[in-house]
Amino acid sequence: MKILIVDDEDMIREVIKEYSEDAGYQTDEAENGKIALKKINKNTYDLLILDIMMPEMDGFTVLKNIPKEKMIPTIVLSARGEEYDKLNGFDLGIDDYLTKPFSPKELIARIKAVLNRTQKNLPTLYRYKTLEVNFSAHTLKIDDKIINITPKEFEILTYLIENKDIAISREQLLSKLWGYDFFGDDRTVDTHIKMLRSNLGIYRNLIETVRGVGYKFSDGEK
């Protein structure tokens, strides 16, 4: 698996590179957001480790400009630890947020956790009528048109499809998809489900609300 490390500090990139490669991952580097976007558009990565405060282009702008078909699981690594910055990151679809200074060993543990959540043994495609979810390409299509959704919305959709016809609690979704150190509450899940349903359009009712529990994906097919 290949990780793109994006940080304007040479020393931090070197530390992350060393620990990541010791853990068995391949790495690539970018010193600012503009270079990162060029590399993302040209190459394929399994994980993005992204700083926020960088010259040329900040991390949030990078997230906003990644093409939907190139969605990458993302860990933000930043000196900015304010709640606003964390919420902004999660709203943009990141998978984890770690503040500097950080423990390299903890970062590796979070890398493994994110990759375990996002690398699923799913069929390549899920199809229902004119709805198509491509798990390997990370794309959602309706009537052969790509629907733009955030990486986190895609992760939620994937998890619900993987557990089709099973009621999943908000707490389960938080634990599985946001991780052990998420600081928010279950309203975060409801907000993302609302956005996902909106993007699903005529297929919004495939995600059912299970009163008192959470949500389930059901297409009526076994």
pLDDT tens digits, 72-85: 889 999 888 788 88
74-119 pLDDT tens trace: 999 988 878 888 888 888 888 888 888 899 999 999 898 888 777 6
Residues sharing a CB contact under 8 Å with residue 212, sequence separation 6 or more, in sequence order: none
Average pLDDT over residues 14-26: 95
Residue 194 to residues 182, 205, 208, Cα–Cα distance (Å)? 20, 11, 11
Nearest to 175 by CA among 164, 186, 166, 190: 186
Backbone CA torsion sign across 144, 135, 69, 202:
positive
Domains parsed from the chain with CATH numbers? 2-118 (3.40.50.2300), 125-217 (1.10.10.10)
The span from the CA of 13 to the CA of 121, in Å, is 31
Question: Which phi and psi (to 5°) does residue 27 adopt?
Answer: -135, 155
Eight-state DSSP code of residue 178: I
pTM greater than 0.75 (yes/no): no
